[in-house]
Amino acid sequence: MSATISALQEARADYQPRLPLALRDANAGIELGAPTEPATDRDALKKLFPKTYGQPQAKIVQGKGGLSTAPLKVGVVLSGGQAPGGHNVIAGLFDALKAANADSRLYGFLKGPGGVIEGKYTELTAEFLEPFRNTGGFDMIMSGRDKIEKPAELAACQRNLAELALDGLIVIGGDDSNTNAAVLAEYLKAEGSPTCVIGVPKTIDGDMKNEQIEASFGFDTAAKTYSELIGSICRDATSAVKHWHFVKLMGRAASHIALECALQTHPNLTLVSEEIEANSASLQEIVDGIVDIVLQRAAAGRNYGVLLVPEGLVEFIPEFRKLIDELGTVLGDEEEYLLGLPDHSERFQYLMTRLTAESARLYGFLPESIQEVLLKRDSHDNLLVSQIETERLLMDLVSDKIRALNAHYEAKGEGEIRFNCLGHFFGYEGRCAFPSNFDADYCYSLGHAAAQLVRGKLTGYTANVQNLTKPADEWLAGGTPVTMMLNLERRKGAPKPVIRKALVDLNGRPFQMFAAQRDAWALNDDYVFPGAIQYFGPAEVCDAPTITLALEQRVGG
Ligand code: FBP
């Protein structure tokens, strides 16, 4: 941590995150509900998770008692992309463990799950932790995207956890990492290891949510950070009156971030990947739709506008989906050979012989930078959508079409349409922002909840905090068995257990609210300027949840 700190960081260090009543109670305990089941693939999942399948829901309740007060040793690891509030999960975990027994110790595994496999860790003491409270980023112990999957990796983890004699390991991660936590929990239980594994729902993408998990942490801060920037871009558009801004937004497959930003700022156009898939809209149809709005606004004298593009868009356009699936099959069968070819032109030539004619045409039409990215996957077999410059592809295609229209108008002696566009990508900018009050409180509560689950000796659970649109006092905390959230999906050609990703529900209130207003936003300048996240001031300015969460929990709208 840098020796020089900003005035905000100094002031923010004094912020005491709010906790629900049950997490403030020294005599809280855990109440277990009825056994649970996943929604689908029950038999297969039961076979894969014989030791942890069907566990009951866990609720942390005031006054129940019965949690261990012995000194505990717990490890924590940050997994995957940064999300504001991660440091507060660790602070909450530390404070809860120390409150139960001052001799408890917390260890941070370094650089993600790889640190657990390699046994690289540091002890997290009060002094070490102090400067990180209420700050963004994952720099306290760093993160990584390694997957604990192969038998040798699972065995190495077991060895390292045993060496430290850990009672618990807390995995702070998204859907893939929580799935990984469940796999490790199952393995350790089967091996007779005493280490419990508890996940914490993290990701700015907002796609790890379900009936039990109302929101993943980091979504609130990231979406509000992007909304501030989009609001400023909207004001620039109405000031300069000469640019269309094409803004790609992080968020992986799900369009939750784009949708939340649209609800916050009312841009002229927002593409929602899930709707594009539902309508089977082709790339050409998407481009035509954008051009249509550009023309309508130009006719009203508005040669400017703002368009939001979710980063995972291409995966939802049917012809791209087909291409991506075909590339996936080639990579599944021949990755080493393909990626071993000396340069892109050779890879390209080879792919032309392996793809269907339709996919080969689309692949050949794409810029080389996109062709290259389409051949890469992360350790969880995800496409690297943050590196696909979809906004630029759309800018080029829209510009081409307007150029063609202008040639046509010119031939008829009509005036041309002025269209200048600028591209932006808001992604990494939002992942390490100072957590909003919501994320600071939510994360601190999640950390406390995870500590109580370890004290209750539960394993294979994801910590949850619910009732999030109410004041923190009224939040409810507990744990959801991970097996309950699993289903089988094909990854690298084989069925794999994974937590079902929550995509935008087109019948849900957030999308419906957006759909009811978007026509007016397209043509008028109905922009809203949310401004920067505020940490000090009136509750309606500082503590409001996202519009998405409020609508989903039926508050407002
Ligand atoms: P997680 O799913 O791990 O939370 O990561 C979220 C994310 O920020 C995505 O929105 C983005 O596509 C991806 O990470 C970028 O990955 P990387 O950090 O490896 O560039």
Measure CA 31 to chain center: 30
Give 241's contacts (C-beta < 8 A, 6+ positions apart): 302, 303, 304
Q: Which H or E element spans position 336?
A: helix 318-340
Using the predicted structure, report yes or no on whether residue 478 has a pLDDT greater than 70: yes
489, with CB counted inside 10 A (0-12, 13-18, 19+), is middle
Mean pLDDT, residues 121-136: 97
Using the predicted structure, report yes or no on whether residue 557 has a pLDDT greater than 60: no
The DSSP 8-state label assigned to residue 537 in this structure reads S
Distances (CA, A) of 283 to 107, 159, 170, 512: 49, 51, 42, 24
Owner of token pair 């709208």: 557
Instruction: Give pLDDT tens digits for 130-141.
Output: 999 999 999 999
Residue 491 CA to residue 476 CA, distance in Å, equals 35
Mean pLDDT, residues 254-263: 98
Calculate the dihedral angle through the C-alpha atoms of 533, 530, 426, 290, rounding to the nearest 10 degrees: 170
108 bridge partner residues: 76, 122
State which amino acid sits at residue 17: P
Residue 38's pLDDT band, with cuts at 50, 70 and 90, is: very high
pLDDT at 108: 98
- Report the predicted TM-score, pTM, of the whole model to 2 decimal places: 0.96
Residue 274 CA to residue 506 CA, distance in Å, equals 7
- What tokens were used for 323? 């291409």
Residue from 173, 161, 22, 151 nearest 83 by CA: 173
Using the predicted structure, report yes or no on whether residue 106 has a pLDDT greater than 70: yes
Expressed in angstroms and rounded, the spacing between residue 312 Cα and the centre of ligand 1 is: 11
Mean pLDDT, residues 278-305: 97
State which amino acid sits at residue 231: G
Give 449's contacts (C-beta < 8 A, 6+ positions apart): 23, 60, 463, 464, 465, 477, 478, 479
Determine the residue of 252, 313, 426, 439 to mutate for testing ligand 1's pocket, defined as the one with the most ligand atoms within 8 A of the Cβ atom: 252
Residue 308 CA to residue 285 CA, distance in Å, equals 16
Using the predicted structure, report yes or no on whether residue 337 has a pLDDT greater than 90: yes
Mean model confidence pLDDT for the chain: 96
- 302-306, 409-413, 510-514: the lowest-pLDDT one: 409-413
Expressed in angstroms and rounded, the spacing between residue 180 Cα and the centre of ligand 1 is: 16
Residue 22's pLDDT band, with cuts at 50, 70 and 90, is: very high
Residue 555's pLDDT band, with cuts at 50, 70 and 90, is: confident
Mean pLDDT, residues 113-139: 97
pLDDT at 333: 87
Within 6 A (CB) of ligand 1 lie 80-81, 83, 145, 174, 203-205, 250-252, 311, 385-386, 431
Distances (CA, A) of 356 to 344, 370, 372: 19, 19, 18
Q: Answer for the pair 431, 218: CB distance below 8 angstroms, yes or no.
A: yes
CA atoms within 13 A on the CB side of 247: 30
Residue from 326, 464, 372 nearest 33 by CA: 464
Q: Answer for the pair 317, 274: CB distance below 8 angstroms, yes or no.
A: no
Using the predicted structure, report yes or no on whether residue 339 has a pLDDT greater than 60: yes
Mean pLDDT, residues 361-380: 93
pLDDT at 26: 94
Expressed in angstroms and rounded, the spacing between residue 142 Cα and the centre of ligand 1 is: 14
Residue 106 CA to residue 86 CA, distance in Å, equals 15
Q: Answer for the pair 179, 497: CB distance below 8 angstroms, yes or no.
A: yes
Expressed in angstroms and rounded, the spacing between residue 187 Cα and the centre of ligand 1 is: 27
Please calculate the CA angle 236-240-245 and round it to the nearest 5 degrees.
55
Residue from 454, 455, 483, 452 nearest 196 by CA: 454
Expressed in angstroms and rounded, the spacing between residue 340 Cα and the centre of ligand 1 is: 26
| Phi then psi dihedrals of residue 520, to 5 deg | -65, -40
Distances (CA, A) of 533 to 67, 84, 202, 287: 38, 13, 20, 34
Residue 556's pLDDT band, with cuts at 50, 70 and 90, is: low
pLDDT at 492: 67
Residue 1's pLDDT band, with cuts at 50, 70 and 90, is: low
**Largest Cα–Cα distance of the chain, in whole Å?**
86
Using the predicted structure, report yes or no on whether residue 393 has a pLDDT greater than 90: yes
Quick one: which atom of ligand 1 is closest to the CA of 312? 12
Determine the residue of 176, 178, 179, 204 to mutate for testing ligand 1's pocket, defined as the one with the most ligand atoms within 8 A of the Cβ atom: 204
Residue 268 CA to residue 308 CA, distance in Å, equals 8
Measure CA 282 to chain center: 26
Residue 218 CA to residue 226 CA, distance in Å, equals 12
Using the predicted structure, report yes or no on whether residue 197 has a pLDDT greater than 70: yes
CA atoms within 13 A on the CB side of 4: 0
Residue 147 CA to residue 273 CA, distance in Å, equals 27
Percent of the chain past pLDDT 70, that is, above it, reads 99
Residue 434 CA to residue 417 CA, distance in Å, equals 42
Q: Which H or E element spans position 109?
A: strand 105-109
pLDDT at 170: 98
Residue 151 CA to residue 169 CA, distance in Å, equals 18
The DSSP 8-state label assigned to residue 303 in this structure reads -
Q: Which residues are catalytic?
A: 205
29 bridge partner residues: 61
Residue nearest to atom 1 of ligand 1 (CA): 81
Residue 236 CA to residue 278 CA, distance in Å, equals 33
Give 125's contacts (C-beta < 8 A, 6+ positions apart): none
Percent of the chain past pLDDT 90, that is, above it, reads 94
Residue 156 CA to residue 112 CA, distance in Å, equals 15
- What tokens were used for 243? 């640019």
Residue nearest to atom 14 of ligand 1 (CA): 81
Residue 140 CA to residue 436 CA, distance in Å, equals 18
Expressed in angstroms and rounded, the spacing between residue 300 Cα and the centre of ligand 1 is: 39
Residue 2's pLDDT band, with cuts at 50, 70 and 90, is: low
Determine the residue of 248, 386, 429, 501 to mutate for testing ligand 1's pocket, defined as the one with the most ligand atoms within 8 A of the Cβ atom: 386
Residue nearest to atom 6 of ligand 1 (CA): 81
CA atoms within 13 A on the CB side of 77: 33
Using the predicted structure, report yes or no on whether residue 491 has a pLDDT greater than 80: no
Residue from 535, 316, 329 nearest 433 by CA: 535
Using the predicted structure, report yes or no on whether residue 433 has a pLDDT greater than 70: yes
Quick one: which atom of ligand 1 is closest to the CA of 431? 8
Using the predicted structure, report yes or no on whether residue 89 has a pLDDT greater than 80: yes
